[in-house]
Amino acid sequence: MRSKYQIYERIAQFYDFVDLPSEYLRYRQIRPQLFVGLEGRILDAGVGTGRNIPFYPRQNQVVGIDLSPAMLARARVRKVRIGSGVDLREMDVCKTDFPDGFFDAVVSTFLFCVLDDSLQLPALRELARISRRGGLIRLLEYSLPANPVHRFVMKRVWTPWVRWLYGAAFDRNTEQYLGAAGLQLIERRFVYGDIIKLITVTHT
What are the residues binding ligand SAM (CB under 6 A)?
4, 8, 46-48, 51, 65-68, 71, 92-94, 109-111, 114-115, 166
Give one DSSP letter per residue of 154-198, joined into a string: IIIIIHHHHHHHHS--S---GGGGTGGGTEEEEEEEEEETTTEEE
Residue nearest to ligand SAM (CB): 48
Q: Minimum CB separation from ligand SAM for residue 75, in Å?
A: 9
Q: Minimum CB separation from ligand SAM for residue 148, in Å?
A: 27
Q: What's the CA gap between 113 and 139, in Å, rounded? A: 10
In this complex, which beta carbon is closest to ligand SAM, that of residue 50 or of residue 145? 50
Q: Minimum CB separation from ligand SAM for residue 67, in Å?
A: 4
Q: Which of 93, 104, 192, 69 is nearest to 140 (CA)?
A: 192
In this complex, which beta carbon is closest to ligand SAM, that of residue 13 or of residue 184? 13
Q: What's the CA gap between 107 and 137, in Å, rounded? A: 6
Q: Minimum CB separation from ligand SAM for residue 149, in Å?
A: 26
DSSP 3-state of 199: strand
In this complex, which beta carbon is closest to ligand SAM, that of residue 90 or of residue 187? 90
In this complex, which beta carbon is closest to ligand SAM, that of residue 132 or of residue 165? 165
Helix ranges restricted to H, the chain: 4-18, 20-22, 28-34, 69-82, 117-130, 148-153, 159-166
Q: Minimum CB separation from ligand SAM for residue 17, in Å?
A: 13
In this complex, which beta carbon is closest to ligand SAM, that of residue 47 or of residue 201? 47
